[in-house]
Amino acid sequence: MTDVRVRIAPSPSGNLHVGTARTALFNYLFAKKNNGKFILRIEDTDAERTSQEYIDNIFDSLKALGLNWDEGPDIGGDYGPYTQSERFDIYPKYAQILLDKGFAYECFCTPEELEAEKQEAANNKKPYVYTKKCLNLTEEEKAKLRAQGRKPAIRFNIEKAQKAFHDTSMLSFNDMVKGELHVDTNLLGDFVIMKSNGSPTYNFAVVVDDMLMKMTHIIRGEDHISNTFKQILIFEALGAEIPQFGHLGMILAPDRSKLSKRHGATAVSEFVEHGYLTDALVNFVALLGWAPSDGEEIKSIDEIAADFRIHEISSSNSIFEYDKLNWMNGQYIKKLSTEELKERLKPYLTKYDLSELTDENYTRMIEITREPLKLLSDITDAVPYFFGKGVHIDEEAQTKVLDTETAQDVLKSFMEQAPDWEWTEENLHEKLEKFRADYKEKGVKPKVTMWAIRAAVTGRTCGADMTAILAILGKEESLSRAKAAIKATV
RNA sequence: AGCGGUAUCGUCUAGUGGUCAGGACGGGAGAUUCUCAUUCUCCAAACAGGGGUUCAAUUCCCCUUACCGCCGCCA
């Protein structure tokens, strides 16, 4: 049995998309499960849309997700180079083989001529297939066209290939996730394999590379199903072994359209910037189309790999639901140690002067504010009141709490008692408990009592543990804020 | 238009020719707590429609519908 070799072949015309990341993940999982190799190949045949920035982004994102490749542009391997633009001398050779065998032919049609054909087909409401106008050009005719300065593209001769390897025009293959798939090759149309500018088209480059790189299984999005038939024919024409295919359903946005910017983040790097943990992202995306056998959803990539069965992947599309991702991200944040969280949160705290806090207090601040975090970035709006002198009181805290008589009364007695308190968290806890109890006897609910202090000190009606907040802020700042919230009486 | 694919709670899914159709997110209710949150408990929520096959269909087959994809000298 040959070793399993799978690949992810992104095109660097944008940052690594979360859909591509899922395809990469499934390939990676399949490789891990079968002790195979996971290969990265960069498909940059379209120089116009390629940029180094995107290539770097793809590398970084894949690494951040933990999808480490065994062979690739940066680390090499036995079947390199792994960047298509560095393989441009390879493709014409194989195109020539196809030409020699009659599986391909030169096409001198101009874009304008092709456009006219398409228009005509559209007018007649007929599906467009290339007319094969150039299939039987004589050498003289070709020479003449060349003399006019026309450069030919090379087209694949579908009928010839189909007849050479199959009895009928029906072509089928057994997809690992979708099962038996067929098509009538008469409907396919001779497609271009080499552009007139000498570069290979996607369908051709993919096959040549997959063949040369000895890929055994090709797992990709279902938008490639119709390409698969063309590719199988090329594999056959080239005399290569045909790999196994597996086509995954697509990921859709909540409104069932393609996942795009207006739905939120789409690139892995954007998710990371927004405060998502890559472990959570991997876990979430694995659950789109695949379910763990024990029903336990929070799982590491290694656990998922051990449990992964490609034939059990759902073949339907799935919707990318941010709610569940957020919940899952929160679960992963909970699992982080406070020490680690302290570091990972720093990028989201740059608007504050952390030097105002001792390390001990910074730690404590994180401990008491980490609970509700769904995204790392949530910390930004959770902690403003720990910094600076004084505090901004939001409207709700002012009108619903501080403007009440009860709150004013609470704050006045707080100011009478608190200056005598020893300002440690432990002691404050005790004192405040007593403080609440006293007010409770007067008919004021504990939470109302605390609301007054919270509103005065944090400017908000809700938030982290009040005792700890006071301890972190220190006696002077706490009391000064409490005092500031008391209205001057005439 | 043509071709291909898909169809279980709102969403991700489990599942079987006979099940109270299970779980998770989200939603609702309650408990805990100084608030929010967390955590825990409970509740509502689905087999797209129509034909078959069968003693029995959510499950197998066909049709319809809906949705997705593909029809480039893009990848």
- Tens of pLDDT, residue by residue over A466-480, are 999 999 999 999 999
A140 plus A239 within the same structural domain: yes
Q: Does the pLDDT of residue A490 top 60, yes or no?
A: no
Q: Is the pLDDT of residue A126 over 90?
A: no
pLDDT attached to residue A489: 61
A222 in Cβ contact with A249 (< 8 Å): yes
From the centroid of its chain, how far is CA A131? Answer: 41
> Among A388, A406, A425, which residue terminates a domain?
A388
Q: Is the pLDDT of residue A385 over 90?
A: yes
Q: Does A418 lie in the same domain as A453?
A: yes
Indicate yes or no: strand B within 7 A of the C-beta of A311. no
User: Which pLDDT band holds residue A272 (cuts at 50, 70, 90)?
Assistant: very high
Which residue, among A92, A106, A117, A210, has the nearest Cα to A156 in the 3D structure?
Answer: A106
- When the pLDDT of each residue in chain A is averaged and rounded to a whole number, the result is 94
A96 shares a domain with A77: no
Final residue before a domain boundary, out of A248, A264, A286: A248
Q: With a cut of 60, say whether residue A24 has pLDDT above it.
A: yes
> Nearest nucleotide to A313 by CA–C1' distance?
B13
pLDDT of the residue at A120: 83
Strand B contact residues in chain A (12-51), C-beta within 7 Å: 13, 43-46, 49
Instruction: Indicate if the pLDDT at residue A392 is higher than 90.
Output: yes
Average pLDDT over residues A59-74: 98
Cis status, amide bond into A254, omega within 30 of 0: no
Same domain, A110 and A187: yes
Q: Would you say the ipTM is above 0.90?
A: yes
If asked whether residues A244 and A97 sit together in one domain, one would say yes
Domain membership of residue A474 (yes or no) is: yes
A488 has pLDDT over 80: no
pLDDT tens digits for range A414-449: 999 999 999 999 999 999 999 999 998 888 889 999
Which domain does A157 fall in, by range? 88-248
Whether residue A33 sits in one domain with residue A114 = no
Does at least one atom of strand B sit less than 7 Å from the CB of A322? no
In a domain? residue A328:
no
Whether residue A176 is predicted with pLDDT greater than 80 in this model: the reply is yes
For residue A68, what are the contacts with CB-CB under 8 A and spacing of at least 6? A38, A62
Query: Does residue A258 sit in the same domain as residue A308?
Result: yes
Q: For the residues A219-236, what does the mean pLDDT come to?
A: 97
* Spatial separation of the C-alpha atoms in residues A428 and A302, rounded to whole Å: 46
Domain identity same for A300 and A358: no
Per-residue pLDDT, A416? 93
CATH number reported for the structural domain that contains residue A374 in this entry: 1.10.8
Among all chains, which residue has been given the structure tokens 């116009």? A48
Residues A53 and A98 in one domain: no
- In chain A, how many domains are there? 4
- Domain end residue (candidates: A388, A403, A424): A388
Q: Does residue A237 lie in a domain region?
A: yes
Q: Looking at residues A297-323, what average pLDDT do you find?
A: 95
Q: Please confirm, yes or no, whether A261 is among the known catalytic residues.
A: yes
What amino acid occupies position A280? A
Q: What is the CATH number of the domain that holds A459?
A: 1.10.10.350
pLDDT at A404 over 80: yes
Residue nearest to nucleotide B10 (CA to C1'): A254
